[in-house]
């Protein structure tokens, strides 16, 4: 039965398989000319699409290649710039190193020069101290050997004491410079500094007045600009030239105000610096104890010269006061001055006293005294030549009074 059933079904299965195979072959292989042309057109279209895709990809790659080449060119240019920049920086650094080396060598040379100058200053200070000591000793000898007021030579003693004062001031200056050099401070002189405090104050006041005037002009110019602007707006006229002129005037006023303000500040700074400089000089002058005794001696000498010029003689009380003051300030010189004070009461002759002073000068002649004598003689020659050029004795008295005032100023 099964065999019979299989044989009965087999023809139907075979026919179905043949039919399906034919349909599949017909679906794959066209049977008509139109289908063949359609298949060819389809393949051509697909091929054209593929070729177009490839061409577009090629164009895109070409654009990418051009972009990459541009970037490569830019990077190469930047690389060249960076190399040149680094080379310039390296060159500048090398030049800076060379400048630093030269500066260090100059500093070493300057230090050596300062050391030499320091040694020279020390040597000059030592020589000046020796000369000052010799001058003091010579002055003490001359004072001890003088017997009367007539034995004093006022002009010579005054000039000698003035020379001693100059030497002492030179010593104090050299000491100050020596202290600054040893401390490492190099004084820088200010050439443009005006030391006149009153003059600087006057200049500052003038500048302040100019500044006030400039501010007033500036305010008036602003008011004028506002007024003319309102007037021009109301009239509706061409105002470009007027506005430009007013703007120029306004800018000029602002510039002038800034300049005057800066100048006033500079003058104020210069005034403060001058006042500080004068105060420092006064402190240095007051802080020098070696000049106190010399000032008193110069004051005493000036009083004696003034008394001699007026024709009056000082009393014993004044002499005792001066001797007491001299004993309180310079106790080492009292023994030498006591014989002189005792001999002044005897009132010897002027010629004899001058002769004794001349003999003491010849015995105590030193290079410093010779230098002081030359200075005194030259000053006396100048003082004698001035009255000869004048009219009469009145001009001579005025010159003597000027010399006395000068000596008092030195004291």
Phi first, then psi: give them for residue 15, nearest 5 degrees. -65, -40
Whose tokens are 């310079």? That residue is 330
Task: State residue 108's pLDDT score.
Answer: 86
Measured CA distances, 52 to 39, 45, 59, 336 (Å): 20, 10, 10, 132
Helix count and strand count (H, E) for the chain: 11, 0
Distance CA 366, CA 45 (A): 132
Evaluate whether residue 88 is within a structural domain: no
Residue pLDDT, tens place only, 214-262:
666 667 666 666 666 666 666 554 556 666 776 777 777 777 777 777 8
As for how many domains the chain has, the answer is 1
24 pLDDT tier (thresholds 50, 70, 90): confident
pLDDT of residue 44 exceeding 90, the answer is yes
Evaluate whether residue 248 is within a structural domain: yes
Residue pLDDT, tens place only, 72-82:
999 999 999 99
Distance CA 37, CA 32 (A): 9
3 state SS for 34-88? HHHHHHHHHHHHHHHHHHHHHHHHHHHHHHHHHHHHHHHHHHHHHHHHHHHHHHH
**Integer-rounded Cα radius of gyration of the chain:** 56
Return the SS3 of 126. helix
Which range of residues forms the domain containing residue 221? 197-286
pLDDT of residue 69 exceeding 80, the answer is yes
Determine how many CB atoms are found less than 10 A away from the CB of residue 88: 10
Mean pLDDT of the chain: 68
Q: For residues 237, 238, 244 and 245, what is the CA-based torsion angle, rounded to 10 degrees?
A: -60
Distance CA 278, CA 199 (A): 14
123 pLDDT tier (thresholds 50, 70, 90): confident
Evaluate whether residue 237 is within a structural domain: yes
Evaluate whether residue 130 is within a structural domain: no
Evaluate whether residue 125 is within a structural domain: no
For the record, the structure tokens of 220 come out as 């008036």
CB 276 within 8 A of CB 129: no
Evaluate whether residue 208 is within a structural domain: yes
Evaluate whether residue 266 is within a structural domain: yes
DSSP string, 377-409: HHHHHHHHHHHHHSSSHHHHHHHHHHHHHHHHH
Task: State residue 179's pLDDT score.
Answer: 65
Structure-model confidence comparison of residues 246 and 12, the more confident one = 12
pTM: 0.23
169 pLDDT tier (thresholds 50, 70, 90): low
Distance CA 226, CA 245 (A): 13
Evaluate whether residue 261 is within a structural domain: yes
67 pLDDT tier (thresholds 50, 70, 90): very high
CB 326 within 8 A of CB 333: yes
58 pLDDT tier (thresholds 50, 70, 90): very high
Residue pLDDT, tens place only, 259-277:
777 877 777 787 777 777 7
Task: Give the burial class of 85: count Cβ atoms within 10 A of its Cβ; 0-12 exposed, 13-18 middle, 19 or more buried.
Answer: exposed
CB 132 within 8 A of CB 167: yes
Cα atoms found within 13 Å of the Cα of residue 134, Cβ hemisphere only: 16
Task: Give the burial class of 208: count Cβ atoms within 10 A of its Cβ; 0-12 exposed, 13-18 middle, 19 or more buried.
Answer: middle
pLDDT of residue 54 exceeding 80, the answer is yes
Residue pLDDT, tens place only, 176-226:
666 665 565 544 444 344 445 566 666 666 766 766 676 666 676 666 666
């Amino acid at each position: 039965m099964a065999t019979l059933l299989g044989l009965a079904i087999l023809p139907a299965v075979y026919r179905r398989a043949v039919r399906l195979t034919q349909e599949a072959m017909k679906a794959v292989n066209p049977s008509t000319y139109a289908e063949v042309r359609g298949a060819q057109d389809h393949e051509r279209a697909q091929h054209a699409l593929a070729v177009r895709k490839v061409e577009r990809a090629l164009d895109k790659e070409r654009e990418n290649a051009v972009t990459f080449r541009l970037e490569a060119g830019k990077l190469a240019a930047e690389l060249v710039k960076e190399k040149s920049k680094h080379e310039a920086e390296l060159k500048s650094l090398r030049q800076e190193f060379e400048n630093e080396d030269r500066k260090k060598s100059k500093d070493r040379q300057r230090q050596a020069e300062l050391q030499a100058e320091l040694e020279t200053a020390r040597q000059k200070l030592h020589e000046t101290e020796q000369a000052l000591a010799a001058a003091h000793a010579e002055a003490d000898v001359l004072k001890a050997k003088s017997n009367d007021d007539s034995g004093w030579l006022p002009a010579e003693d005054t000039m000698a004491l003035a020379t001693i004062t100059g030497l002492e001031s030179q010593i104090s200056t050299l000491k100050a410079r020596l202290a600054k050099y040893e401390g490492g401070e190099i004084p820088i002189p200010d050439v443009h500094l005006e030391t006149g405090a009153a003059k600087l104050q006057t200049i500052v006041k003038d500048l302040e007045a100019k500044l006030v005037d400039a501010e007033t002009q500036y305010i008036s110019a602003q008011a004028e600009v506002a007024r003319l602007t309102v007037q021009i707006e109301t009239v509706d006229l061409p105002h470009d030239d007027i506005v430009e002129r007013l703007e120029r005037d306004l800018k000029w006023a602002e510039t002038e105000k800034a300049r005057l303000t800066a100048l006033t500040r500079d003058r104020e700074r210069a005034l403060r610096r001058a006042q500080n400089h004068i105060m420092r000089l006064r402190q240095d002058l007051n802080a020098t104890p070696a000049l106190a005794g010399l000032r008193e001696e110069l004051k005493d000498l000036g009083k004696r010269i003034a008394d001699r010029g007026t024709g009056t003689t000082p009393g014993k009380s004044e002499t005792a006061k001066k001797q007491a003051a001299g004993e309180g300030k310079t106790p080492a010189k009292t023994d030498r001055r006591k014989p002189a004070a005792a001999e002044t009461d005897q009132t010897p002759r002027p010629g004899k006293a001058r002769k004794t002073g001349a003999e003491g000068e010849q015995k105590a002649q030193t290079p410093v005294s010779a230098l002081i004598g030359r200075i005194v003689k030259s000053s006396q020659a100048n003082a004698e030549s001035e009255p000869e050029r004048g009219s009469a004795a009145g001009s001579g008295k005025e010159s003597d009074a000027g010399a006395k005032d000068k000596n008092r100023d030195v004291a």
